[in-house]
Amino acid sequence: MSDKPLLISAGQLVDGRGGAPVADAGVLVDATGMISWAGPMAQVPHLPDGCQRVALPGTLLPGFIDTHVHFAVPGGGLQVGKLLLQPPPVRVLQIAASMAATVQAGVTTVRDLGFLGPKLAMMASTGATPAPRLLNAIAMLSPTGGHGDFPLPAGVDLTDLFHLLDLTMSVADGPDEVTKHTRQLMRDGAQVIKVAATGGVSTPADGPDDVGFSLAELGAVVETASTRGRNVAAHAIGTQGIANAVEAGVHSVEHGSGLTPELAERMAEQGTFLVPTLTVLNETGDPAVMGQHAYQTARRWRQAAGEAVAMAVKAGVRIATGTDAGLGITHGQNLIELAHLVSAGLSPMDAIVAGTAAAADVCGLGDQIGTLEPGKRADLIVAVGDPLDDVKLLADAGNITLVVQDGRIVKHSMETIQR
């Protein structure tokens, strides 16, 4: 909540709904942090007493939303051994830095889809560090031997150690057990439920074509999550796992590389979102760090992922931005996903909508954030230049000159330079 009303103006405004950009435009934020007006500055209403004014060159946009991050992992993949060697205070500060870097990059809301325990997530909700608005899944529900089951070759059971580090995993089998685990996650504060519908690129025991949870197990998760109004996000790469997830009625398919035209039609009909996470497949980085196996698997699925986006666009599936930050890129580079979406065939405007209005709907927050219009929470940013002309400029946090979250200025780099 901001204390004073705030008028922010810039060279142009992009509303996040796909509307034509408005030149020389502004947004008026009231003292409660809500947008009360947005439009051309020529039509700005009478300003309330004590109104602060910020005028910047560049483009005013809604705060972006990354619907798929992992704050508990710093970047470069889940290296369990490395995480276990970190003293907890170092780990806490590293996660705080990742949260701060994300909001400074213009990402004002994220979903964390696994590993971030409820205690660590409180860093974001209590304001202990600058952080995006956070919807936390706490853990990814996985079957035994599935994408979220990490037995060590040495045979050590890490459950207690993970618990100590607030590094959360959730392995369950059968409809009854997954129901119980879903209820436990919701009890512990999960605002979204993440499930492994297939194996993964980086897991030792299974691969992307392997089915994770059965249809019956996925159905039990979706039904249980719906009792508390939680959406289910399904990690699903191979075709059969995507089919199971869609049949079970999940809210979003994460990755979705093995999509078929038929499945895309079904997703469009049901309103299932696709979060293609092109970043993690394209920015896979160093095979020496992530391991040869994961590197080669990622390469193989990269092309399929691009084709899946084209199928989704053709069928009318709504696409949203998600990066898998932590497991690929380091935190704060999230908006590179927009450039990858444009490479896969989206227009820059559609990529921006994928990162704003559509991503807000993936989070179930479409009535509160994601667009610049009266009645929404004032999450907004200013970027230098014109991202409709060069969407890649958004990927550089240095090009984001202003970040406003819930009506409060959390980054204003121009002002810093003037001081």
Residue sitting closest to Zn ion (CB): 324
Quote the least distance from Cβ 68 to Zn ion, whole Å: 5
Going through 279-394 in order, the beta strands assigned E by DSSP cover 380-383
What whole-number distance in Å separates Cα of residue 193 and Cα of residue 143? 14
Which of 66/324 has CB closer to Zn ion?
Answer: 324
286 residue type, one letter: D
Assess contact for 292 and 298: CB atoms under 8 A: no
What whole-number distance in Å separates Cα of residue 194 and Cα of residue 180? 14
The count of chain residues that interact with Zn ion, using the rule CB under 5 A, is 1
Which of 148/348 has CB closer to Zn ion?
Answer: 148
Quote the least distance from Cβ 417 to Zn ion, whole Å: 36
Which of 324/379 has CB closer to Zn ion?
Answer: 324
Task: Give the other-Cβ count within 10 Å of 212's Cβ.
Answer: 31
Quote the least distance from Cβ 368 to Zn ion, whole Å: 24
- Token digits for 263? 């499945």
Quote the least distance from Cβ 358 to Zn ion, whole Å: 18
CA atoms within 13 A on the CB side of 274: 35
What whole-number distance in Å separates Cα of residue 91 and Cα of residue 119? 13
Which of 283/324 has CB closer to Zn ion?
Answer: 324
Which of 30/324 has CB closer to Zn ion?
Answer: 324
- Token digits for 281? 């497949």
Interaction between residue 15 and Zn ion (CB under 5 A):
no
Of 23-62, binders to Zn ion (CB under 5 A) are: none
* C-alpha distance from residue 268 to each of 63, 252, 301, 312 (Å): 26, 11, 22, 8
- Which of 77-85, 226-234, 324-332, 334-342 is the region at the interface with Zn ion (rule: CB under 5 A)? 324-332
Quote the least distance from Cβ 322 to Zn ion, whole Å: 8
Of 127-146, binders to Zn ion (CB under 5 A) are: none
What whole-number distance in Å separates Cα of residue 167 and Cα of residue 160? 10
Which of 38/335 has CB closer to Zn ion?
Answer: 335
Going through 63-206 in order, the beta strands assigned E by DSSP cover 64-69, 107-112, 115-116, 133-136, 140-142, 167-168, 170-171, 192-196
What whole-number distance in Å separates Cα of residue 258 and Cα of residue 129? 38
Interaction between residue 337 and Zn ion (CB under 5 A):
no
Q: What separation, in Å, do the N-terminal and C-terminal C-alpha atoms of the chain show?
A: 25
Quote the least distance from Cβ 86 to Zn ion, whole Å: 20
Quote the least distance from Cβ 143 to Zn ion, whole Å: 17
Which of 66/406 has CB closer to Zn ion?
Answer: 66
What whole-number distance in Å separates Cα of residue 77 and Cα of residue 324? 10
- Which of 40-48, 78-86, 319-327, 333-341 is the region at the interface with Zn ion (rule: CB under 5 A)? 319-327
Residues 6 or more apart from 188 whose CB is under 8 A from it?
118, 138
Going through 197-331 in order, the beta strands assigned E by DSSP cover 231-236, 252-255, 273-275
Quote the least distance from Cβ 74 to Zn ion, whole Å: 14
Interaction between residue 324 and Zn ion (CB under 5 A):
yes
- Which of 44-52, 185-193, 266-274, 323-331 is the region at the interface with Zn ion (rule: CB under 5 A)? 323-331
Go through 250-274 and write b for each residue having 16 or more CB atoms within 10 A of its CB, e for each that does not. Answer: bbbbbbbbbbeeebbebbbeeebbb
Which of 280/395 has CB closer to Zn ion?
Answer: 280
- Which of 55-63, 145-153, 287-295, 316-324 is the region at the interface with Zn ion (rule: CB under 5 A)? 316-324
Which of 175/328 has CB closer to Zn ion?
Answer: 328
Q: Binding mask 269-308 vs Zn ion (x if CB under 5 A, - otherwise)?
A: ----------------------------------------
- Which of 49-57, 150-158, 317-325, 386-394 is the region at the interface with Zn ion (rule: CB under 5 A)? 317-325
Quote the least distance from Cβ 248 to Zn ion, whole Å: 19
From the number of C-beta atoms within 10 Å of its C-beta (0-12, 13-18, 19+), residue 127 rates as exposed
Which of 11/74 has CB closer to Zn ion?
Answer: 74
Compute the C-alpha angle 162/166/172, nearest 5°: 60
Which of 15/324 has CB closer to Zn ion?
Answer: 324
Quote the least distance from Cβ 53 to Zn ion, whole Å: 41
Assess contact for 288 and 294: CB atoms under 8 A: no
Quote the least distance from Cβ 237 to Zn ion, whole Å: 11
- Which of 22-30, 284-292, 321-329, 370-378 is the region at the interface with Zn ion (rule: CB under 5 A)? 321-329
Residues in contact with Zn ion by CB under 5 A are 324
